[in-house]
Chain A
Amino acid sequence: MYELFFQNFNTKVALTKEEETLIKNYLIPKKLRKKQYLLQENEVCKSYAFIEKGALRAYSVDDSGNEHIIQFGIEGWIVSDLYSFLTGEPATYNIDALEDSELVLISKTAHEELLQKLPKYETFTRLNITGAYIAMQKRLTSIISSPLEERYTNFTKAYPEIIQRVPQHMIASYMGLTPETLSRIRKRISAK
């Protein structure tokens, strides 16, 4: 139920058995079926989710009702509306399951208590947030300055598993393209 979570934790910072037990007391095991929501827009994001199994996406909806995918998540990743989680303001993202998923949730209350109690949890959090920041900077730079073909090629190289598991129209949404444009780009790449 928490295997991957602790495996991931231990690669970032090694825990003793006692520390694992202490952390376990705070974790919420949660199964989510395909298409079910973990979070809906305008609700405060009260926990973040580590993915033990499955795939999720976070997306926002614009005024015309179009979905824009912000982030995908698969095994070993964390998904949340970090802005809402940290500030307590209503979420701007929706998060739902693309496959039947098994999650480990950490509530805001648990998060804050663990930060107080366990310096190793603080390290774990710092590394997670640093990682998220780096990913976001890369994504931002790529969106504003890389040519489309290069963006798609980089994405397929960085996340081959997501390409396998997620439908093309969602990849297009993630890249800010229409499915037709993405399809043209893919044709151009394969023709090379």
Chain B
Amino acid sequence: MKTKKTIAIIGATGNMGSAISKSLSKGNYRLLLKANEEDKLDVLVKEIESIQTKAEVGVAVCPAEAGWEADIIILALPFGAEKEVAKKIKEVANQKIVISISNPLNETFDGLVTASDTSAAEELQKLLPNSKVIKAFNTTFAADFSSPVIDGKQVDAFIAGNDEEALQTVSELVTTAGFNPIVAGDLSISRTLESMQLLLIQLGIKYNYNWLAGWKILHN
């Protein structure tokens, strides 16, 4: 039997946060959710409990408490909010996996606010030098979580990071969520992954993909 890991999801009531929370509740995990909007959080917990009767899901009072109990921390936050939360969890996230899902888009969705020689994930790693920062779930839209198979194909989900064991653990999370995990490389590959999602967002707006779109690598 695999020891049940505790996953803290910070920003659980956002589009991405709730999609990730619901999809991971299918797995052998204990979820610890944190969000500023407590009413919404209660609704989410009830919803998860009604879909997954066996799910073990709790609510944390603050990011630091959530992180302290967690084995894996998911920051389901926009890039702009990561910095502040990183400060709060720095100590409790020591040597733990911290997943960065954000895409550092500018306000007009036509570029990234990060310099070309860095990425949101690398910036987070600088703030959390003793944590194992992993980029994941940034190339998947929230709607993809309820339909991880689009047009008959299972959506790929790319992962980047510097720690082999952590990449393996996060691959399992991605599989639980219903996507096909692809380890893309070390954390600097996040630059490409974040740019890929910028492109997908731009194309989605241009061709009206209705936020249900994803990446699939075709190969033999």
Residues of chain A with a CB closer than 8 A to B94's CB: 24-25, 27-29
Whether the Cβ atoms of B130 and A25 lie closer than 8 Å is yes
Interchain CB contact under 8 A, A30 and B68:
yes
Given contacts A25-B94, A25-B130, A110-B95, contact A30 B69 (CB under 8 A): yes
Q: How far is the CB of B145 from chain A (nearest CB, A)?
A: 27
Main secondary structure of the interface of A (DSSP, over half): mixed
With A25-B130, A26-B95 as contacts: A31 and B68 at CB distance below 8 Å: yes
A33 within 8 A of B: yes
Report the number of A-B residue pairs with Cβ-Cβ less than 8 Å: 44
Q: Does A173 lie at the interface of the complex (its beta carbon under 8 Å from any beta carbon of B)?
A: no
DSSP majority for the B interface?
Answer: loop
Which A27-83 residues have a C-beta within 8 angstroms of B?
27-33, 36-43
C-alpha spacing A26/B165, complex, angstroms: 16
Residue from B3, B68, B91, B165 within 8 A of A39 (CB atoms): B3
A107→B92 CA distance, assembly (Å): 15
The reply to whether A38 and B95 form a contact with Cβ atoms under 8 Å apart is: no
Judge whether A28 and B3 touch: CB under 8 Å. no
**Residue in contact with B92 in the complex, picked from A29, A38, A109, CB distance below 8 Å:** A29
Q: Report which B residues bind A (CB closer than 8 A).
A: 1-4, 6, 30, 65, 68-69, 71, 91-92, 94-96, 130, 165
Chain A positions within 8 Å of B30 at CB level: 36
Query: In the complex, what distance in Å separates the CA atom of A25 from the CA atom of B130?
Result: 6
Closest to B4 in A: A37
Known: A29-B68, A31-B69. A42 touches B95 (CB 8 A): no
**Set of chain A residues within 8 Å of B92, measured between Cβ atoms:** 1, 29
Q: List 11 A-B contacts (CB under 8 A).
A: A25-B94, A27-B94, A27-B95, A29-B91, A32-B69, A36-B4, A36-B30, A41-B1, A43-B1, A105-B95, A109-B165
